[in-house]
């Protein structure tokens, strides 16, 4: 019997099955990694183990006891701690006081800190490399120090099972190596660890076993080498050669002057560096793709270009600087973002959502534009009166792109257009991209984790890893030179 055993674990949110009959286990002294693209169910699975969500079906046995559906405080009392993705320390309390809070018993009638708890808190800080910093305040710590503080808080209760959600998020390559060593030391102390992270390479180098998930289901399990070589895993990360409309990779001209130039762009979230000296050129009236795994920085780049994030560096559209320009002015200038999250108005109809995109148009132009969008996405014409929230995922993606097209963009940014879509819907998105290319009326910039899909449509490709450009060049060279090295 394993220390932790999850069987047929299932969680639904309305009509969405986020975790679908998933089995996995982990033993003491072992590190298990959960990998998969956005929306695959990894973090939800972790939340089910910690009791943050109650499963709709299945069991979670910890030391032979079924803890499925227990409250988080009861599960913590069984020796389980979780390190969350975002650091949220109490800023007015010292580093030591933050850790001591995790040591307090689960009773409002007894809040005194004992000498033993204080010693335990100090030992936790030493274990994570924060020894001697107990009297500092969180604001005085670097970003990596804040991540270490979160681990210290989790260790303060001396857990037997430690859950780590995105431990490498926002860390530099050197900090990732240091954090990996820390996690190995925690394992060597006899703990069981489960971690989720988008940094697939670092996870593979660290864990003993890996479970790959996609659309809520487990698709592979085994050693990191076995899982990353699995055909289904490579398909969900890199895409399938059959998921495109083009019969062959074809060379395209990219000598035209770029419509958008980004130079040395930097973006930070607090103390975390999300983008580091990013430079890209976007092909005029063509398709440019920014590809990379989840968490690489693609969405941050798109939001910075669209004016939704503060940034440092140069952004020029049609030879005019737009750095620091408000988002609404950037949109009116011709740069329109179709976000990964789609951001539709669920209780408005398809037609009303489209009308919102074309509010600035005259009646005649709006009618002409609606006809254009419905020619590209005939399904939207068939669903005009239907509420957006009742559409399928593929139909919602078509609506999100259609609404963006209603603004008559000169540069359309589409963030993760194939995320979570079935192959038949990907074909529709592929056809729409090619139709827009042939129209010659706009340029497209795609952010995609499905790298083969992106390279088949793009004139040029930029590979982004850990917030930096790692490769750039013509699309016809990407798969041959880079595709096999991503995982």
> What's the CA gap between 270 and 400, in Å, rounded?
30
Q: Which fold has domain 4-238?
A: Rossmann fold (3.40.50)
Residue 412: what pLDDT?
96
Tokens linked to 484 = 């096999």
> What's the CA gap between 447 and 425, in Å, rounded?
17
Arithmetic mean of pLDDT over the chain: 88
Residue 255: what pLDDT?
56
> What's the CA gap between 351 and 245, in Å, rounded?
28
Cα-trace Rg, the chain: 24
Cα 216 → chain centroid: 15
Residue 143's pLDDT band (cuts 50, 70, 90): confident
Lowest mean pLDDT among 169-183, 224-238, 242-256: 242-256
Beta carbons of 128 and 182 less than 8 angstroms apart: yes
> What's the CA gap between 204 and 291, in Å, rounded?
20
Which CATH code is given to the segment(s) 260-485? 3.40.50.300
State the angle between helix axes of 363-376 and 423-439 in degrees (0 to 180), rounded to the nearest 10: 130
Q: Tokens 């998933």 identify what position?
A: 22
Beta carbons of 30 and 208 less than 8 angstroms apart: yes
Segments making up each domain of the chain, as ranges:
4-238, 260-485
| Angle formed at CA 84 by CA 79 and CA 86, multiple of 5 degrees | 160
Residue-wise pLDDT for 41-93, tens only, equals 898 999 999 999 999 999 999 999 999 999 999 999 999 999 988 888 999 99
Cα 321 → chain centroid: 29
Residue 257: what pLDDT?
80
Residue 71: what pLDDT?
95
Mean pLDDT of 355-368: 89
Residue-wise pLDDT for 322-341, tens only, equals 999 999 999 999 999 999 88
């Amino acid at each position: 019997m394993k220390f932790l055993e999850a069987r047929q674990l299932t969680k639904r949110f309305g009509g969405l099955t986020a975790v679908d009959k998933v089995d996995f286990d982990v033993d003491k002294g072992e590190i298990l990694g959960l990998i998969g693209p956005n929306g695959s169910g990894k973090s939800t699975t972790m939340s089910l183990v910690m009791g943050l969500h109650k499963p709709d079906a299945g069991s979670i046995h910890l030391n032979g006891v079924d803890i499925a559906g227990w409250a988080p405080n009861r599960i913590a009392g069984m020796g389980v701690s979780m390190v969350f993705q975002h650091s949220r320390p109490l800023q007015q309390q010292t580093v030591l006081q933050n850790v001591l809070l995790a040591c307090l018993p689960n009773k409002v009638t007894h809040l005194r800190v004992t000498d033993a708890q204080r010693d335990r808190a100090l030992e936790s800080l030493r274990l994570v490399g924060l020894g001697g910093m107990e009297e500092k305040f969180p604001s005085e710590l670097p970003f990596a120090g804040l991540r270490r503080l979160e681990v210290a808080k989790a260790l303060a209760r001396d857990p037997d099972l430690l859950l780590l959600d995105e431990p490498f998020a926002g860390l530099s390559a050197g900090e990732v190596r240091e954090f990996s060593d820390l996690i190995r030391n925690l394992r060597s102390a006899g703990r069981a660890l489960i971690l989720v992270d988008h940094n697939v390479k670092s996870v593979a180098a660290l864990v003993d076993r890996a479970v790959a998930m996609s659309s809520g289901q487990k698709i592979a399990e085994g050693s990191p080498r076995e899982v990353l070589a699995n055909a289904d895993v490579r398909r969900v990360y890199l895409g399938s050669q059959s998921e495109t409309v083009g019969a062959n990779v074809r060379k395209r001209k990219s000598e035209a002057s770029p419509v958008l130039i980004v130079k040395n762009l930097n973006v930070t979230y607090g103390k975390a560096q999300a983008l580091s000296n990013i430079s890209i050129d976007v092909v005029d009236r063509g398709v440019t793709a920014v590809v990379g795994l989840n968490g690489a920085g693609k969405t941050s780049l798109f939001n910075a270009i669209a004016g939704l994030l503060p940034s440092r560096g140069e952004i020029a559209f049609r030879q005019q600087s737009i750095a620091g320009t408000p988002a609404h002015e950037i949109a009116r200038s011709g740069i329109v973002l179709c976000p990964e999250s789609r951001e539709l108005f669920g209780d408005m109809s398809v037609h009303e959502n489209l009308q919102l995109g074309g509010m600035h148009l005259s009646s005649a132009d709006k009618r002409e534009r609606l006809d254009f969008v419905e020619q590209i996405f005939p399904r939207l014409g068939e669903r005009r009166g239907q509420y957006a929230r009742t559409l399928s995922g593929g139909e919602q993606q078509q609506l999100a792109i259609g609404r963006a097209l209603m603004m008559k963009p000169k540069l359309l940014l589409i963030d993760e257009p194939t995320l979570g879509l079935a192959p038949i819907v990907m074909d529709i998105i592929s056809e729409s991209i090619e139709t827009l290319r042939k129209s010659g009326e706009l340029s497209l910039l795609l952010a995609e984790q499905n790298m083969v899909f992106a390279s088949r449509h793009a004139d040029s490709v930029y590979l982004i890893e850990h917030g930096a450009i790692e490769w750039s060049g013509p699309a016809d060279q990407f798969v041959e030179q880079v595709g096999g090295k991503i995982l």
